[in-house]
Amino acid sequence: AAHGIGTQIVLSRHRGGVVPTDGVMDISSRDESAPNVATIALSPSPFAALYQRLQAAGGWLAAEFLAERERWALWLPVALGLGIGIYFSLPLEPPLWLGAAFTAFVALGAAAAASAWPGRRTAIIVIGVPLTVAGLGFAAAQVRTHTVAPATLAERIGPLTLTARIIEVEPLPDGLRLLLDQPSSPSLDEGNRPQQVRIRVRGVQESLGPGDRIRLRAVLAPPPGPSAPGAFDFQRHAYFAGLGAVGYGLGRIEVLTQQTADAGAPALWVQRLRHALGVRVREHASGAPGAIILALLIGETTAIPAETLTAIRDSGLAHLLSISGLHVGLVAAFVLTFFRGSLSLIPALSLRYPIKKWAAVLAVAFAGGYTLLADAPVPCQRAFLMLAIVMLAVILDRRGISMRLVAWAAAVILLVQPEALLGASFQMSFAAVVALVAAYESVSLHRLVPGFAHTPARRALMYLAGIALTTLVASAATTPLSAFHFNRIAWYGLAANLAAVPLTGLWIMPWAVIAVCLLPFGLEGPAFTAMAYGTAGLVTIAETVAAWPGAVSTLPLMPLAALLAFAAGGLWLCLWRRRWRWAGVLPLGIGLATMFTASAPDVLVEGGGKLFAVRDRQGEMIVSSRTAAPMARDAWLRLAGAEEADGNWPKRGVSADGSLACDPQGCIYQAKGYRVALAQTADAVDEDCRSSDVVISLVPVHGSCPAARIVIDRLGLWRDGSHALWLEPDRVRVEAANVGRGRRPWVLQRTVAAEHSTPAD
C-alpha cells in the first residue's frame, strides 16, 4: 500500500501468514542463506488498476466539489425547478398533502441524521437540502394549482347576450381583444360560470376602456387544448391566468356605464393607466412604429402588423419586443445617470449628501413603475427583482451583480408562479442572464485588450464589442430554447443587434422615459414623435436583415430529451467555476446529437375535424384548408419545420405526387405501404373499413372495422383532441393531444358513453 502494486517487497514465511489476494505472487529470487525469506513481486490485476483509477477520479471530483462550496447555493433554484417539473409531468393529480409531507419528512430526516452522525454532516446536507427544496417546489406547484382553480366553460355556447366588465383592451390590426370579468347571461350556468373570459371583436367600435360595463352578442368556448401532441398548451396557460372561456363578439358593443369599477382597485387602476398611455401613443404615432412603441412601453404586441412581426423575429430582434432586463436596465440607467448628473451640478447637495444613493432610489421607483406599465411579464419581474437588489447594493455600498442574485430572483418567481417554469419567457430570460453572468465572470473585455486607452472612439468600439459578446453569448444560450418552442433559428442576429441595440439604448428608450415624464403636462408629443423615428429605423433594420438569403431556418419538432440535455449541460457549464465545469460539454453534445432525431408526423387531424394534413412523397406538408383552424395550421407548420404548406389539397382528383386522392365523401392517402382513409360520410366509412389500414372518420363509427388497424372517429376527436400519426415500418404510431396530458385540473375532461366508444388498436 505504501509503495504501490508492482513494487518488490519482502515477506517472511511463517504460520498464519497472509497471502495477498489482489495480485499475483512471483518469486523472483531466493536467498539460500535465508531459506525462510523470499523476494517477490506483485503484478497488478486489471480490476485493481481500474479501482485505483476510479478512486483517483472520485477523489478529484470530491476535491473539486468541496472547492466550489460557495457555489452550492446556486443549485437550489435548480432543485426547486426539478420539483416543479416533476409535478407538472405527472399523469394524475397527486394528493394535496404529498408535497408538504415529503418536504417535512426529508427535512426532519436530514436533521436527525446530521445530529446522529456529525462526521457525515456535509454529505447529509448535500443530499438532504436539495431534496427538501425539490419537495418545496412540488408543494408550491400544488398550492398554486389548487389556489387558482378557475371555473371553466365545459362546452361551446352561443350566440348569447353577455354583460360584463372590461379589464383589458388590446388593439389588433383588425379589431380589439377584450379581457372581461363578471360575465353574466341567462344562458350561462351560474354554478360553473367563468369569472374571466377573453373575446375578440372585429370592426370599428366606440371608445372602450378598462372599467366599462358592456353588453354584446358573443360566442364562448372552453380554452382550446394543444393543436398537436407536444404543442403549446393554451388550456394550461389559461387555467393559471384565471381564464375560463374564450370567444368572439358579434356586431357592435353597447357601453352600459363607463369606468364603474372601484377606483381604489390597484389592478384596474394600472390597467386604466396602461390604456390611457396607449391612447396617447396612438395620437402621435401610427402604423408599425406606433405599435412598436406600445410594445416597448406597455408590452402590447398585438397591434404590430404580421409582416413586421415576422421580420423582427427572423432578424433576431424579437427580444427587443419582450420587455426584459435590457429595457428595465436602460430605463434605470437613464434615470440614474440623469438625476445623479443633475444633482451633481448643485454643489450644496453633491458635496454633502449621497446623491448617487438618491438617484438609485429613483431608478428603482421608475423601474417598478415601468414593470407595472408592462403588465409585469416574467422577464420583467426577473429584471426588476435583480435591479432592486443591485440598487440596494449601491445604497449599502456593496457589490451588486452576481450569479447568486440571479439564483434568488429565479427562486422568488418559481415560488410565487411555479407554472412560469414551463413557459418560453422564463426559460429564455434566465438562460440568457445565467450565460451572460457566467461569461462576464470568466472574461473581461478590458482583460482581453490590456492597455486599451479610453478615448471616445475606443470607448465606442468597446461598447460595440460588448454588444457583440452579449449577443453571441445570449444567442448561444437561447438558440436551443428557440428551436424547441418556436422551431426557428435566426442566423444574422449579431449583425441586426449591432445596429438595433445602440439605436434602442441611445435613442428610443431615453425618449420613452422623457415622454412618460412629460405626459402629466400634455407635452409628450415631440418625445413620442422622436421615439417613432427610432422605431421606424428599428423596423428598417429588421426588414433589411430578414431579407438576406438564409436569414432564418425552420426546424422540425425537437425532442424534450434534447432540451433537458441542453439545460443540464448549460447549467453545469455556467454555475461552476473550476475546470470540472467543462464536463457540461458532454450533455450539450448529447442534446445536439438528439436535436434532430424526432420526425414530423405523416398525418395530422384537428380535434374539431376541420383540418387535415399529410406529408407527400417529398416529405412536404399538404394542408386541407388555408383558412380553417388557422391556429392549428400554424402550429402544424412549426412542428414540421415548414414556413408554408407546399402543394394543393385536391378537392376532387389526385394530388401532384399521386399519394392523395379525394372525392366528396372523403380522401385516401397512401404512403409507406399504408392506406389511410379520411372519411366524411357514413357510406364512406363502410367502404373504408373493409379496405384501409387506418380509418379517420368525421362521423361516429359503430361496430367493427375488419381491415383497419386504427380507427379514429368523431367521438374520439371530440374526446382526445388533435391526433398525430406516424406510419412506421412495423406499426402505425398514434398520439392524441389530450391523452398525453393526463387527468389534471387544467385538462378539460370529456367522456363518451360506452356504447359510443371508439375501437382502438
Dihedral of alpha carbons 600, 601, 602, 605, sign: negative
Identify the pLDDT of residue 677: 92
Q: Which helix (H) or strand (E) holds 200?
A: strand 196-202
pLDDT value, residue 109:
93
pTM of the model: 0.85
For residue 641, give the C-alpha cell. 419545420
- What angle do the packed helices 509-518 and 325-344 form, to 10 degrees? 70
**523: its cell numbers:** 407635452
Q: Which range has the top average pLDDT, 452-466, 506-520, 628-642?
A: 506-520
pLDDT of 490 strictly over 60:
yes
Q: In this predicted model, which residue has the larger pLDDT, 628 or 411? A: 411
| pLDDT band, very low/low/confident/very high, at 741 (cuts 50, 70, 90) | confident
Query: Residue range 555-567: average pLDDT?
Result: 90
757 has pLDDT over 60: no
Q: Return d(Cα 282, Cα 295) in angstroms, integer.
A: 12
For residue 566, pLDDT beyond 90 = yes
Given a cut of 60, whether residue 181 has pLDDT beyond it is yes
Give the number of other CB atoms < 10 A from CB of residue 751. Answer: 7
Residue 753: predicted pLDDT: 44
Weakest-pLDDT range from 46-50, 71-75, 102-106, 191-195:
46-50
pLDDT-derived band of residue 17, with 50, 70 and 90 as boundaries? Answer: very low
Query: Is residue 40 scored above 60 in pLDDT?
Result: no
DSSP character at residue 263: T
Report the pLDDT averaged over residues 540-548: 94
Q: How far apart are CA 726 and CA 735, in angstroms?
A: 9
The answer to whether residue 312 scores a pLDDT higher than 80 is yes
Q: CA-CA distances (angstroms) from residue 231 to 226, 599, 724?
A: 5, 14, 11
Cα separation, 724 vs 718, whole angstroms: 14
pLDDT bin (cut points 50, 70, 90) of residue 759 is very low
Start-to-end C-alpha separation, the chain: 64
Q: Above 90 in pLDDT, residue 186?
A: no
Alpha carbon distances (Å) from 156 to 179, 222, 224, 342: 18, 7, 11, 60
* Number of residues in the chain: 761
Average per-residue pLDDT for the chain: 85
Residue 331 pLDDT > 80: yes
pLDDT digits (tens, 9 = 90+) for 647-688: 678 888 888 888 899 988 889 999 988 999 998 888 888 888
| Cell matching residue 82 | 426539478
Tell me: cis bond preceding 91? Omega within 30 of 0 counts: no
What is the per-residue pLDDT across 700-733, written as a single tens digit (0 to 9) for each? Answer: 888 788 888 889 998 888 888 899 999 998 899 9
Question: Between the CA of residue 82 and those of 69, 106, 116, what are the distances in Å?
Answer: 21, 16, 29
Q: Residue 2: is its pLDDT beyond 80?
A: no
Q: 84 falls in which pLDDT band (50, 70, 90)?
A: very high
pLDDT for 449 = 54
Our measurement of the distance from residue 598's CA atom to the centroid of its chain's CA atoms, rounded to an integer in Å, reads 20
> Is pLDDT above 50 for 756?
no
Measured between alpha carbons, how far is 417 from 147 in angstroms, rounded to an integer? Answer: 11
pLDDT band at 6 (very low <50, low <70, confident <90, very high): very low
Quote the crossing angle between the two packed helices 493-503 and 456-486, to the nearest 10°. 120
Three-class secondary structure of residue 40 per DSSP? strand
Give me the mean pLDDT over the 372-395 stretch.
85
Neighbours of 220 (CB within 10 A): 25
What does residue 488 show for φ and ψ, rounded to 5 degrees? -140, 145
